[in-house]
């Protein structure tokens, strides 16, 4: 069964600290993996997208890694800011006639001063 799991479910960190969010998936055949940020009451916004051949992608203070062999991805946030407080969603696409995707349940991150 195609699934996307994320951990932890929620996380609280102090402003300025780093953190890493995890995503495990069982989607096959794999097409790409995306990380989205969703602020409360808003729609998700794309942070990174990685295909099978890419194992790291950065977007400012966000760095995503992908291990297609173990089917794991992580999102590392450096020097966190209060504005990083949001839900982070891992989305995995598998290859069909068009890309179908599965959304993970998300990790809720709270950055406190």
Residues of this chain that interact with another protein (CB under 8 A) are: 4, 34, 41-46, 49, 89, 98, 101-106
Smaller CB separation from another protein, 12 or 14: 12
Smaller CB separation from another protein, 46 or 83: 46
Q: Is 83 helix (H, G, I), strand (E, B) or coil?
A: helix
The CB-of-15 to another protein minimum distance in angstroms stands at 27
Smaller CB separation from another protein, 29 or 43: 43
The CB-of-42 to another protein minimum distance in angstroms stands at 6
The most distant pair of C-alpha atoms in the chain lies apart, rounded to whole Å, by 47
The CB-of-27 to another protein minimum distance in angstroms stands at 13
The CB-of-47 to another protein minimum distance in angstroms stands at 10
Q: Are strands 107-112 and 100-103 parallel, antiparallel or unpaired?
A: unpaired
List, in sequence order, every beta strand (DSSP E) within 1-113. Answer: 4-7, 10-14, 19-25, 30-38, 45-51, 56-59, 62-67, 72-77, 86-94, 100-103, 107-112
Smaller CB separation from another protein, 75 or 80: 75
d(CA 89, CA 87): 6
Length of the chain: 113
């Amino acid at each position: 069964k195609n699934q996307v799991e994320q951990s932890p479910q929620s996380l609280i960190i102090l402003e300025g600290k780093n953190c890493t969010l995890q995503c495990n998936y069982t989607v096959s055949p794999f097409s790409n993996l995306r990380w989205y940020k969703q602020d409360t009451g808003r729609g998700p916004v794309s942070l990174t997208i990685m295909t099978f051949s890419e194992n790291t992608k950065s977007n400012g203070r966000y760095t995503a890694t992908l291990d297609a062999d173990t089917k794991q991805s992580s999102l590392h946030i450096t020097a966190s800011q209060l504005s990083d407080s949001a839900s982070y969603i891992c989305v995995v696409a598998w290859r069909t006639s068009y890309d179908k995707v599965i959304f993970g349940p998300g990790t809720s991150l709270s950055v406190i001063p």
